[in-house]
Each structure stands twice: as structure tokens, then as C-alpha cells.
């Protein structure tokens, strides 16, 4: 009975490929960790699902209300098209320095320094 012949070249090539793949995976993981997974930015919503934000009349504060209810006294819905959706988005920043007066007119927020 003949013993099977071991091809050392094929075995060495396979081991080399395994090392290359392992090195590539380790490198990719290191890049992800060191860059903080850049490009995967987390954005926090202003309100939870089923809620909408409302602006404090005469101030720069806001609160979230259920979609099924109107805002409490002293709060008003944001004007259409100017509703902040996520923290620090365009409209969230805008309403930090602006507010609504009792008539619904946009004015500078009085409590901004």
C-alpha cells in the first residue's frame, strides 16, 4: 500500500493565504476602531416616536407632546417647515436663538445672551 504523497508547496500556499486573510481582517478591524467608524454618525431625535416638539412661547425652551394632544398653555407648535427633527439640526439651532410671540410671529429669543 502506497502512502499518500504530501505536497508541501500546496500546504505552504494554503497557510500563506490564511495569514494574508487574517492580516486583512485584523487591519480592517483596526481601521474601524481607530477612526471611530467615521461616517456612521449617530443623530438623536428631538422627540420620541408618537410625539412632536412644541416651542415655549416667548422663550427658547421646548417640550414634546403626544401626537394625540395639543400643546399645553405657554407652548405652540413650530411653524410648518421649520420643525426641528434631530438635536443640533438646522432648525434646532435656529430655535435656540428665536422664538414665537403671542401672535405667532417669529422674534429673537429674549433669553439669549
Q: Is the pLDDT of residue 95 over 90?
A: yes
More reliable by pLDDT, 28 or 96: 96
Whether pTM exceeds 0.75: no
Contact 97, 87 (CB under 8 A): no
The model's pLDDT over 23-63, given as tens digits with 9 standing for 90+, comes to 777 777 776 666 665 666 788 999 999 999 999 999 889 99
Task: Please give the torsion angle defined by the CA atoms of residues 67, 69, 70 and 71, in that order, rounded to the nearest 10 degrees.
Answer: -80
3-state secondary structure of 45: strand
- Alpha carbon distance 14, 37 (integer Å): 32
Q: Is the pLDDT of residue 7 over 80?
A: no
CA distances, 110 to each of 30, 74, 80, 101 (Å): 49, 15, 22, 10
Q: Is the pLDDT of residue 2 over 80?
A: no
Amino acid at each position: 500500500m502506497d502512502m499518500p504523497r504530501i505536497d508541501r508547496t500546496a500546504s505552504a500556499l494554503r497557510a500563506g493565504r490564511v495569514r494574508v486573510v487574517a492580516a486583512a481582517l485584523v487591519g480592517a478591524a483596526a481601521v474601524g476602531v481607530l477612526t471611530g467608524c467615521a461616517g456612521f454618525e449617530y443623530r438623536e431625535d428631538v422627540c420620541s416616536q408618537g410625539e412632536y416638539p412644541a416651542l415655549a412661547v416667548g422663550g427658547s425652551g421646548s417640550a414634546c407632546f403626544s401626537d394625540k394632544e395639543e400643546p399645553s398653555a405657554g407652548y405652540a407648535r413650530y411653524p410648518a417647515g421649520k420643525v426641528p427633527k434631530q438635536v443640533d439640526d438646522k432648525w434646532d439651532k435656529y430655535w435656540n436663538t428665536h422664538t414665537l410671540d403671542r401672535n405667532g410671529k417669529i422674534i429673537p429669543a429674549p433669553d439669549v445672551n
